[in-house]
Structures are given as structure tokens and as C-alpha cells.
Amino acid sequence: MKRIFSGVQPTGNLHLGNYLGAIRNWVRLQDDYDCIFCVVDLHAITAWQEPRELAANTREVAAAMMASGIAPERNIIFVQSQVPAHAELAWIFNCVARLGWLSRMTQFKEKAGKHRENASVGLFSYPNLMAADILLYKATHVPVGDDQKQHLELTRDIAQKFNSDFGVDFFPLVEPLIFGSGTRVMSLRDGTRKMSKSDPSAYSRIEMTDGADDIARKFRKAKTDPHPLPETPAGFAGRPEAANLMGIYAALSDIPIADACARFGGGQFSAFKRDLADLAVSVLAPIQDETRRLMGDEAYVDGVLRDGSRRARALAGPILEEVQAIVGFLPA
Ligand code: TYM
């Protein structure tokens, strides 16, 4: 059986990177896999979240996932904290994973920055919880953006160590699914840094809730260079901002980047940026309308999430019980 698990943090508005790198691909995979999609609020609180905002963001992220085309009847959409088995398996993985493995995680180093001593313990053990998310359902495939690759390698290491420590062949080795031209959308202010929710500049990212004016303004102000757009992808060497904007265009219009170069090569950024903004608005506006409609019906969204967590618990429960027996815990 091919089973997908993936998640997104409710730490603020989703941005174009989350959409192109992950959510859009999830929509495409839902026909071929048994899919479980999660709003990972336990991960979100590894950094401080205002409680009221966390609750609102959790609902909004779930609504945006549905508005993007993830069907709640065919897939499981749920909130991580509503399935306690995630935290229970994460504890066991805290005792399987090694300090050295987690110390090498680049995301921890980036997020903790210079003030490592002040980072929460949760931020450090974050990847163990992520491994628990995936392995709790014995998921085989995980569609994510490029930045999650290292966490998935760690998930494989944890699965392997668990299996070998206990002499079992229990957890599968998950395969990352990183595909499409949006796997690494970069900041609009600096083409060498990824687009991220935590960047202090709102001009660095297109948020899924941005209106047409904001989108046009952000692309207009996006950093560029003084040369005309290249006619082939080879011309992006040393031009990360040009590569990023053209990559976004290609991803949004679902064409190879070489085709985007053929279309705009030799032209100026100003005209290209106008076309890019129009394209982004045409893709995002229908999703925004549907998200707003869903947010007007909280009872419906909460119902979907409650149903999702019930179905997730039904899948997770027996797997966690098997893990507990393997570890040597007495049955409850
Ligand atoms: P999060 O919330 O940071 O991001 C959600 C998804 O969006 C992708 N992404 C990007 N893709 C392309 N370009 C970007 N600039 C960009 N920024 C973010 C991420 O790769 C991700 O796929 N740890 C995860 C959440 C998680 C998870 C899981 C994922 C928790 N448990 C289990 C998969 C399986 C995260 O922080 O995602």
C-alpha cells in the first residue's frame, strides 16, 4: 500500500513556497495515494505562538488546504494535537534518535540562530516529532519542499535504528517526494534565501491571503539585476533573483522553465513582473475566495477536522499499540 503523510505548520499565513512546494503537489497526488494531511500545531509551538492566533491559524490553514483542492472525503485532513499518539510516539523516538543526529539539523541551527541556549527543547527535538507523524501511519511517501529533505533522512535513520534495536521489520523507510519547479521558492528580497514565514520583511514573500494590489507591489519591488531576462536557463548563472522569479512563473503556469525563458528571454523585468503578478493573482484569487467562504462556516471546518482526527486515531491506535508492545510496555 502506498500511503502519503505530509504536514504544514499553522504559524501564520501560508506563502507561495508552501503552496508551490507542497500543497499543490498534494492535490495532484490525492488520486494515486491514500493521503493523510496534517496541520501540525504541536510543531508550531516549538516557537512562541499567541494562543488565540494559533487557533485561528490552525483553522485557516485547514481551510486553505481544502480551498486549494484537497478533498476532505477522499483524504484525511486533521490537526496534530487532536491525535495524542503523535506525542506518544515522539517520546519513544526521543529515546531512539541520538543527540548527534539532531545537532546536525540545519533547520535547528537556522531557527535557533546565535541564541541556541534560549531555543525550546521542542525546537531541538522537532524532527523526532516529524518522524513520529509519518511513521505513526507507516506512511511510505512524503511530499514536501526541498527544505525538509534532511528531516526525512533523519526519519529513515530513526526507522532503521528502531527496527534494528528491537530486531523487527516494523517501520518502512519513507521516500521523499520532491518534484515540480516550486520545490525551493526563494525570497523576493534575496534570491539566495528561501521564502519563509519567519522572514521579518513581508516584501520577501507572497502570502496566500495577499490581494491583487499587494501581489503586484511585492513583485514590482522584488530584487532583480540590471540585465535583460535570459533566453535559456543557462543564463541564470550568478543571477539567483532572475532564476527565482522565472521559476515562480514556470511553476505557476505549469510549464518547464526553458519555455518561460523562451517566452520572456531578452525582455525587461518590468513587463515580465506585471505578467507574473497577473498570473499569481489568477491562480491565488479563486483559492482565496474559497478560503474566505470556508472560514465563514467554522462549524463545517471544525467538523471536517473532527472527522479527520477520528479517522486518524483509528489508523494510529493499533500501530502505536504494536510499537508499545515491541518496546516492552504493559498493555493499557
Ligand atoms: P512548513 O510549515 O515549514 O512548510 C510546509 C511545506 O511547505 C514547504 N515549503 C517550501 N517549499 C518550497 N519553497 C519554499 N520556500 C518553502 N517553504 C516551505 C515545506 O517543505 C513543507 O513541505 N516540518 C514541516 C512540517 C511537518 C511535516 C511533517 C512535513 C511536520 N510533520 C511530516 C511532512 C511530514 C514544516 O516545517 O513545514
Nearest C-alpha neighbor of 26 from the set 14, 15, 38: 38
Question: Do residues 112 and 119 make contact, with C-beta atoms less than 8 angstroms apart?
Answer: yes
Highest CATH level, class, for 3-178+298-327:
alpha beta
DSSP 207: B
Closest CA to ligand 1's atom 37: 8
Residue 262 Cα to ligand 1 midpoint, Å, equals: 31
Residue 67 burial by Cβ neighbours in a 10 Å radius (0-12, 13-18, 19+):
buried
> What is the per-residue pLDDT for 181?
83
- Give the C-alpha separation, 320 to 315, whole Å: 9
**Residue 115 backbone phi and psi in degrees, to 5:** -100, 50
Alpha helices in 169-264 (DSSP H): 212-221, 240-253, 257-264
Does the active-site annotation cover 161? no
- Give the C-alpha separation, 262 to 272, whole Å: 12
Task: Give the pLDDT confidence of 206-218 residue by residue, as tens digits.
Answer: 999 999 999 999 9
Question: Do residues 42 and 280 make contact, with C-beta atoms less than 8 angstroms apart?
Answer: no
Does the active-site annotation cover 197? yes
Nearest atom (ligand 1) to Cα of 147: 20
Closest CA to ligand 1's atom 1: 8
Residue 111 Cα to ligand 1 midpoint, Å, equals: 14
Lookup: cell for 286: 479563486
**Ligand 1 pocket check: which of 3, 14, 18, 89 to mutate, most ligand atoms within 8 Å of Cβ?**
18
> What is the per-residue pLDDT for 1?
73
Residue 171 Cα to ligand 1 midpoint, Å, equals: 22
Does the active-site annotation cover 194? yes
Provide residues with CB under 6 Å of ligand 1: 5-9, 17-18, 21-22, 40, 43, 130, 133-134, 142, 144-145, 147-148, 151, 182-185, 194-195
| CB-based contacts of 92-95 (< 8 A; 24+ apart in sequence) | 92/132, 92/323, 92/327, 93/128, 93/129, 93/131, 93/132, 93/135, 93/158, 93/162, 94/125, 94/128
Residue given cell 508499545 in the structure block: 324
Cα dihedral: 62, 67, 71, 72 (round 10): 30
| CB-based contacts of 166, cutoff 8 Å, min separation 6 | 326, 327
3-178+298-327 and 202-292 in the same fold = no
Catalytic residue among 109, 138, 161, 194: 194
**Ligand 1 pocket check: which of 144, 178, 183 to mutate, most ligand atoms within 8 Å of Cβ?**
144
**What are the domain boundaries of the chain?**
3-178+298-327, 202-292
Residue 39 Cα to ligand 1 midpoint, Å, equals: 11
- Give the C-alpha separation, 41 to 9, whole Å: 6
Chunk the chain into consecutive blocks of 10 residues (it has 332) and report each block's average pLDDT, rounded to whole numbers: 95 95 97 97 97 97 98 97 98 98 96 93 98 98 97 98 98 95 95 95 97 98 97 97 98 96 97 98 98 97 98 98 98 90
- Give the C-alpha separation, 239 to 171, whole Å: 43
Residue 178 Cα to ligand 1 midpoint, Å, equals: 11
- Give the C-alpha separation, 109 to 78, whole Å: 29
Between 3.40.50.10440, 3.40.50.150, 1.10.240.10, 3.40.50.620, what CATH number should domain 202-292 receive? 1.10.240.10
